[in-house]
Chains A and B, each alone.
Chain A
Amino acid sequence: MVFLSGSRSGAQPIARLARGAAPSWADVVVVLLLAGTAVLIARGAGEMSASLAQLAVTPVTLDPARLPEYALLTTLRMFAALAASLLFTFTVATLAAKSRKAELLIVPALDILQSVPVLGFLTFTVTFFMGLFPGRQIGVECAAIFAIFTSQAWNMAFSFYQSLRTIPSDLDEVSRQFGFSPWRRFIRLELPFAMPGLVWNVMMSMSGGWFFVVASEAITVGKTTIALPGIGSWLSLAIARQDMRAVAVGVGAMAVVILLYDQLVFRPIVAWADKFRFEQTASQDRPGSWVYDLVRRTRWLRLAAAPLSWPGRLLSAIDWPAATLAPLRLGPKAARTFDALWIGLVTAAVATAVWLLWSFISRSLTWGDAATAFELGFATLARVVVLIALASLIWVPIGVWIGLRPAWAERLQPVAQFLAAFPANVLFPFMVVAIVSLRLDPNIWLSPLMVLGTQWYILFNVIAGASALPSDLKEAARVFGIRGWQWWRQVGLPGIFPYYVTGALTASGGSWNASIVAEAVTWGDMRLEAAGLGSFIANATAAGDHARVALGVAVMSIFVVTFNRVLWRPMYRFAERRLRLD
């Protein structure tokens, strides 16, 4: 999925894509390396999958009394994945920001990984982790958590990396002048500065994560079906039993969980993180949270919440020894040797990756398969394009209308964000029942499912853009009687464009990903399928055909990355150059 860093009140058009475009050779190198790694994991998974047969998992039941427990387990998985993502973010992004050589590989890798349909990897990771812990539930748990992790980590790491690269030079100088240790620098400067972007991206990641937790708790790979206790498994069981009431209850539970975590966890964090916003002026509309206010106002609650800040205090009090090692100074000759060594290493890795890929794919696939995959890719591409266009036609006018009315925007913005966080895949059964009972063509009518969950990104970004339209521009438009089409052409559309691109980019990335679950849906023993790359991957997963899954994912990655480079990136650059309001 593609997410961008932004502010609390909706995405801000931060031109990640417009940054000095990574050299294209780096993209190729990274794609090859990633693909090579994937093959290695797949091989390992294939070898270890023998032990899967003995695996026994407590069966999931449709007993409403157990639903709170399921909801709790699902939420725990989310937060476990979040912790892993944060760890990944702090290490990998820091490495990328501090080492130029690491940066050359990590940055394009993050860029591609956040565009790649990670849902397709589910089959590899499940078998891999189950092989790692044969016969134990922990393996499947790890696989599910890892699946969520792969949907969360990249954009967080990217945001953190970007923050580290844009630390204001004067604050950097103060830290150096006072001789901050690396640890203190991290606690006092880097982490606080990165906090607003990071919090926003964590929220976006969590939104995406709900989708994956539902998809990854109950998964069928080949002949094995594993269902972890959780809302996702509840839903898939309800679907298998065609129990519409259970589906509705599951959806309701999901809504409650998302609402609770939003109110109890994220609103307070956003309100707290507001103090890290790097602005020297006090802002007019501070984000509010009743929980945060309550904790701050009530003494006993504050006392109760105090232990939460102890780890932070403790961490900032630790006196890590200042790095005594001076940065290694290499002579020009040594540096050149080191560079050559590095390049040699990367070249060798790329060669190995190419060889691995070739031997892996050529063993079970023909050129015909590749052609089929590409053909299906175009079918899915057509769906994505048409649906994003349709969603834009519907939501842009509505979003602008709402955004221009502050009272409405304030009320509806959280609703749009909630809808974006809601995992749309839990709603699929309703659509399937409708298609079956009305005898509609699944090739057309399954398509809307792809944008069901992602269209909201367009809506709330457009609302944010329209709210950000400067009032003097609006007034000027009114004074000069600019109305109708002229208003859209010269005021409305240019004003929201950067925001729209952010939203549409996110929505299209999400739609590609969603196609894997949306193009092939089941309801009990009914099975609907639309011809496309998504159903290709879903079928290959169900059949346990690793080579086809890999092919499908690779082709989809190529489509997504190309789509981003050819369409969204130029649009970003255009917005950055011509339509900036500040």
Chain B
Amino acid sequence: MTAIDDRHLVDVKKIRHLYGKAGGGGQLVLDDVDLTLFDNEIVGLLGRSGSGKSTLLRSIAGLIEPTAGEIEFPRPDGAPPTRVSMVFQSFALFPWLTVQQNVEVGLEAKRVPAEERRRRALAAIDLIGLDGFENAYPKELSGGMRQRVGLARALVVDPNILLMDEPFSALDVLTAETLRTDLLDLWCEGRMGIQSILMVTHNIEEAVLMCDRILVFSSNPGRIVAEIKVDLPQPRHRQNPAFRRLVDQIYARMTLRGSADDRRGDGLFPGMGIGMVLPRVSTNTLAGLMETVSTAPFNGQASLPDLAEALHYEADELFPVAETLQLLRFAEIEGGDLRLTAEARRYAEADVDARKRLFAQHLIAYVPLASHIRRVVDERASHQAPGRRFRDELEDLMPSEEADQTLKTVINWARYAEAFAYDEGADLFTLDDPS
């Protein structure tokens, strides 16, 4: 072993993970992922929902056993085994325990004597800025305070590695920023006693702000597509041009797939043809985005980071909307830029009926499932078809929750476009003839 190898905290080797059935319907969420976590670094796992980054984090935490691959925690001879600890997006506090009891819970499980438990818990509470709240119940605290409890609970067991699963995404913008800053301060001053932090995020700016290294995940299946080193010194400032450049660069990296080489729309979303999993995006959002981009200051073309900022969207929220526009041929995405097509500009200027007609044309032409349903309903003498038929068809091609979501999405789009109608009570697709 070389000296450098000794600094490895975690070695993840060729991890694959399959959710659901191994045969049909199973979904590959992680595909051949390698990762090494070194001593003294903050690593961010950045990706969109469904990219398997949470699965990877949970595999390292020992909560999930991956289908294949290995996770090792190399230790120098004689050192105690590596301890990992985790902070959850939803805080995961026991509502029936007080702040102090919540912090002590991990020590209690390790059978630490009561007196030492109390001492260590109070020290952690003090460190994280919760003094005075020891006897409060979680429901009495604000979101930011709750996440501090989550952090104290994770730190009190003296972990080597701190795992964080989108720790700030359930908080409002200001609270999240305060908590990030506090955490970075503690980290830079080395007061938490941890060796490394591995965090999952879908917020690009958060990753650039906090991490030394960012691993960008692709989705469906999850793979690491880029590793980006962040060399900016701490404290980092969002307005710094170098910071902005890095954010733009990561945006471009995350939208690379499904651009110039793959214009047909397939590949934007997982699945092919009618088996394409459609995201839950409302037609109002689509219309709103087209209107925003078509007017000043964007005038038909916008960089995604600017757009996200103008709309107060997270990247993760913006991507599915933008990609749905691309699927419907209302926009093209290239190098982190979104450019409206001529039809989209026409749409933005049209009145309600013309918009609906245009949307219907694109829906039938470019969304295979919509045209499939329309054709089946059209061909039947009764001009109606049971929803069961399509649901079964979709469930052969994708997991059932996704089938459900896809069908709901296409129903919503079709209702807006008046392409076909759906009666929920009877579970029946019909040809809605307005005349």
Cross-chain contact A178 with B157 (CB below 8 angstroms): yes
Q: How far, in angstroms, from A30 to B315 measured CA to CA in the complex?
A: 52
User: Which of B10-18, B101-109, B172-180, B256-264 lies at the binding interface?
Assistant: B101-109
Q: Which residues 288-339 of B sit at the A interface, judged by CB distance below 8 A?
A: none
In the assembled complex, A472 has its CB within 8 A of some CB on chain B: no
In the assembled complex, B246 has its CB within 8 A of some CB on chain A: no
Given A173-B58, A280-B138, A282-B139, A178:B90 Cβ within 8 A = no
Nearest Cβ on chain A to B26's Cβ, whole angstroms = 15
Q: How far, in angstroms, from A173 to B89 measured CA to CA in the complex?
A: 12
Given A279-B139, A282-B139, A319-B111, A177:B61 Cβ within 8 A = yes
Q: How far, in angstroms, from A100 to B138 measured CA to CA in the complex?
A: 34
Contact of B94 among A189, A279, A578 (CB under 8 A): A189
Cross-chain contact A174 with B96 (CB below 8 angstroms): no
In the assembled complex, B88 has its CB within 8 A of some CB on chain A: yes
- In the complex, chain B residues whose CB is within 8 Å of the CB of A276: 95-96
| Residue with the highest number of chain A CB atoms closer than 10 Å, among B88, B92, B111, B140 | B92
Chain A residue at smallest Cβ distance from B137:
A275
| Residue with the highest number of chain A CB atoms closer than 10 Å, among B95, B138, B140 | B95
Given A178-B109, A179-B110, A171:B63 Cβ within 8 A = no
Chain B residue at smallest Cβ distance from A180:
B109
- In the complex, chain A residues whose CB is within 8 Å of the CB of B157: 178
Contact of B109 among A181, A192, A278 (CB under 8 A): A181
Q: How many residues of B contact A (CB 8 A)?
A: 30
Contact of A173 among B86, B94, B105, B111 (CB under 8 A): B86
Cross-chain contact B58 with A178 (CB below 8 angstroms): no
In the assembled complex, B62 has its CB within 8 A of some CB on chain A: yes
Cross-chain contact A178 with B88 (CB below 8 angstroms): no
Contact of B105 among A188, A275, A319, A578 (CB under 8 A): A188
Cross-chain contact A177 with B111 (CB below 8 angstroms): no
Cross-chain contact A176 with B95 (CB below 8 angstroms): no
In the assembled complex, A184 has its CB within 8 A of some CB on chain B: yes
Chain A residue at smallest Cβ distance from B138:
A280
Q: How far, in angstroms, from A515 to B366 measured CA to CA in the complex?
A: 64
Chain A residue at smallest Cβ distance from B86:
A177
Cross-chain contact A188 with B94 (CB below 8 angstroms): yes
When each residue 36-47 of chain B gets 1 if its CB lies under 8 Å from chain A and 0 otherwise, what string results? 000000000000
When each residue 73-104 of chain B gets 1 if its CB lies under 8 Å from chain A and 0 otherwise, what string results? 00000000000111011111011110000000
Cross-chain contact B139 with A281 (CB below 8 angstroms): yes
Nearest Cβ on chain B to A53's Cβ, whole angstroms = 54
In the assembled complex, A277 has its CB within 8 A of some CB on chain B: yes
Q: Which residues 186-206 of A sit at the B interface, judged by CB distance below 8 A?
A: 188-189, 192, 195
Cross-chain contact A277 with B63 (CB below 8 angstroms): no
When each residue 155-187 of chain A gets 1 if its CB lies under 8 Å from chain B and 0 otherwise, what string results? 000000000000010110110111111001000
Cross-chain contact A171 with B96 (CB below 8 angstroms): no
Q: How far, in angstroms, from A281 to B137 measured CA to CA in the complex?
A: 10
Cross-chain contact B109 with A179 (CB below 8 angstroms): yes
Contact of A170 among B85, B90, B97, B139 (CB under 8 A): B90
Nearest Cβ on chain A to B136's Cβ, whole angstroms = 10
Nearest Cβ on chain B to A317's Cβ, whole angstroms = 9
Q: How far, in angstroms, from A575 to B91 measured CA to CA in the complex?
A: 32
Q: How far, in angstroms, from A177 to B97 measured CA to CA in the complex?
A: 18
Q: How far, in angstroms, from A577 to B426 measured CA to CA in the complex?
A: 13
Q: Which residues 221-251 of A sit at the B interface, judged by CB distance below 8 A?
A: none
When each residue 386-408 of chain B gets 1 if its CB lies under 8 Å from chain A and 0 otherwise, what string results? 00000000000000000000000
Cross-chain contact B88 with A170 (CB below 8 angstroms): yes
- In the complex, chain B residues whose CB is within 8 Å of the CB of A171: 92, 94
Cross-chain contact B86 with A192 (CB below 8 angstroms): no
Cross-chain contact A280 with B88 (CB below 8 angstroms): no
Q: How far, in angstroms, from A70 to B348 measured CA to CA in the complex?
A: 82
Nearest Cβ on chain B to A399's Cβ, whole angstroms = 27
- In the complex, chain B residues whose CB is within 8 Å of the CB of A280: 95, 138-139, 146
Cross-chain contact A178 with B63 (CB below 8 angstroms): no
Q: Which residues 305-326 of A sit at the B interface, judged by CB distance below 8 A?
A: 319
Q: How far, in angstroms, from A279 to B58 measured CA to CA in the complex?
A: 25
Given A170-B88, A178-B106, A275:B58 Cβ within 8 A = no
- In the complex, chain B residues whose CB is within 8 Å of the CB of A177: 61-63, 84-86
Cross-chain contact A277 with B109 (CB below 8 angstroms): no
- In the complex, chain A residues whose CB is within 8 Å of the CB of B140: 282
- In the complex, chain A residues whose CB is within 8 Å of the CB of B89: 170
- In the complex, chain A residues whose CB is within 8 Å of the CB of B62: 176-177
Cross-chain contact A173 with B139 (CB below 8 angstroms): no
Q: How far, in angstroms, from A171 to B91 measured CA to CA in the complex?
A: 9
Chain A residue at smallest Cβ distance from B106:
A178
Q: How far, in angstroms, from A277 to B95 measured CA to CA in the complex?
A: 8
- In the complex, chain A residues whose CB is within 8 Å of the CB of B146: 280
Nearest Cβ on chain B to A187's Cβ, whole angstroms = 10
- In the complex, chain B residues whose CB is within 8 Å of the CB of A180: 109
| Residue with the highest number of chain A CB atoms closer than 10 Å, among B94, B146, B157 | B94
Cross-chain contact A174 with B88 (CB below 8 angstroms): yes
- In the complex, chain B residues whose CB is within 8 Å of the CB of A181: 109
| Residue with the highest number of chain A CB atoms closer than 10 Å, among B96, B424, B425 | B96
Q: Which residues 119-163 of B sit at the A interface, judged by CB distance below 8 A?
A: 137-140, 146, 157
Contact of B96 among A178, A179, A184, A275 (CB under 8 A): A275
- In the complex, chain A residues whose CB is within 8 Å of the CB of B94: 171, 174, 188-189, 192
- In the complex, chain B residues whose CB is within 8 Å of the CB of A168: 90, 92
- In the complex, chain B residues whose CB is within 8 Å of the CB of A170: 88-92
Q: How far, in angstroms, from A189 to B95 measured CA to CA in the complex?
A: 10
Given A177-B86, A184-B109, A278:B63 Cβ within 8 A = no
- In the complex, chain A residues whose CB is within 8 Å of the CB of B139: 279-282
Given A188-B105, A319-B111, A174:B137 Cβ within 8 A = no
Chain A residue at smallest Cβ distance from B64:
A173
Chain A residue at smallest Cβ distance from B85:
A177
Q: How far, in angstroms, from A282 to B36 measured CA to CA in the complex?
A: 43
Cross-chain contact A192 with B138 (CB below 8 angstroms): no
Q: How far, in angstroms, from A192 to B62 measured CA to CA in the complex?
A: 25
Nearest Cβ on chain A to B86's Cβ, whole angstroms = 5
Q: How far, in angstroms, from A173 to B63 measured CA to CA in the complex?
A: 7
- In the complex, chain B residues whose CB is within 8 Å of the CB of A176: 62-63
Q: Which residues 401-435 of B sit at the A interface, judged by CB distance below 8 A?
A: 424-425
| Residue with the highest number of chain A CB atoms closer than 10 Å, among B105, B140, B146 | B105
- Residues of B at the A interface (CB closer than 8 Å) are 58, 61-63, 84-86, 88-92, 94-97, 105-106, 108-111, 137-140, 146, 157, 424-425
In the complex, besides A170-B92, A280-B138, 7 extra interface pairs with C-beta distance below 8 angstroms are: A170-B91, A171-B92, A178-B106, A180-B109, A184-B109, A188-B105, A280-B146
The 4 closest A-B pairs by CB, nearest first: A170-B92, A178-B106, A192-B96, A178-B109
* CB pairs A–B below 8 angstroms (23 shown): A170-B88, A170-B89, A170-B90, A171-B92, A171-B94, A173-B92, A174-B94, A174-B105, A176-B62, A176-B63, A177-B63, A178-B105, A178-B157, A179-B109, A180-B109, A188-B94, A188-B105, A189-B94, A195-B96, A275-B96, A276-B96, A277-B95, A282-B139
